[in-house]
């Protein structure tokens, strides 16, 4: 599963990516997780199965959803508490649920 995280600069999500990768490995979930800035969305979107965006760019949700719709990729906003706490387990679970819901 390819999980793309998007934030304003691409740096604030790097710690979250690390934590999500650790949880995925512990749970035996095969996942490729990476983060990019909003400037790199177009170059990375079609590689993703799920897109989660940082709460600080929630105002761009509909624009990113419109771009992702071409590829039938679900997009949602990361919960601000989970984002702030770098809760890799909860954010990974959100990505898995989002992908499952999109598949149904």
Query: What is the domain-level CATH number for residue 9?
Result: 3.40.50.2300
Q: How far does the chain reach from its first CA to its final CA, in angstroms?
A: 16
Residue 40 has pLDDT above 70, yes or no: yes
Average pLDDT over residues 25-52: 96
Residue 90 has pLDDT above 70, yes or no: yes
Q: What is the DSSP letter of 83?
A: H
Residues 43-73 pLDDT 10s: 999 999 999 999 999 999 999 999 999 999 9
Residue 12 has pLDDT above 80, yes or no: no
Give the three-state DSSP class for 53: strand
Average pLDDT over residues 86-100: 97
Considering its fold, how many domains does the chain have in total?
A: 1
Residue 90's closest CA among 19, 15, 2?
19
User: Which one is catalytic: 3, 6, 7, 36?
Assistant: 7
Give the three-state DSSP class for 7: strand
Residue 10 has pLDDT above 70, yes or no: no
- C-alpha span between 64 and 8 (Å, rounded): 13
7 catalytic residue (yes or no): yes
Give me the domain span that covers residue 15. Answer: 2-103
């Amino acid at each position: 599963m390819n999980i793309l995280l998007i934030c304003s600069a691409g740096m604030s999500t790097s710690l979250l990516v690390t934590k999500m990768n650790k949880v995925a490995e512990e749970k035996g979930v095969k996942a490729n997780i990476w983060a990019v800035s909003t400037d790199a969305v177009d170059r990375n979107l079609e590689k993703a199965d799920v897109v989660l965006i940082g709460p600080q760019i929630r105002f761009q949700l509909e624009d990113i959803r419109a771009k992702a719709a071409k590829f039938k990729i679900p997009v949602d906003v990361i919960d601000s508490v989970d984002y702030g706490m770098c809760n890799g387990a909860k954010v990974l679970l959100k990505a898995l649920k989002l992908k499952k819901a999109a598949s149904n």
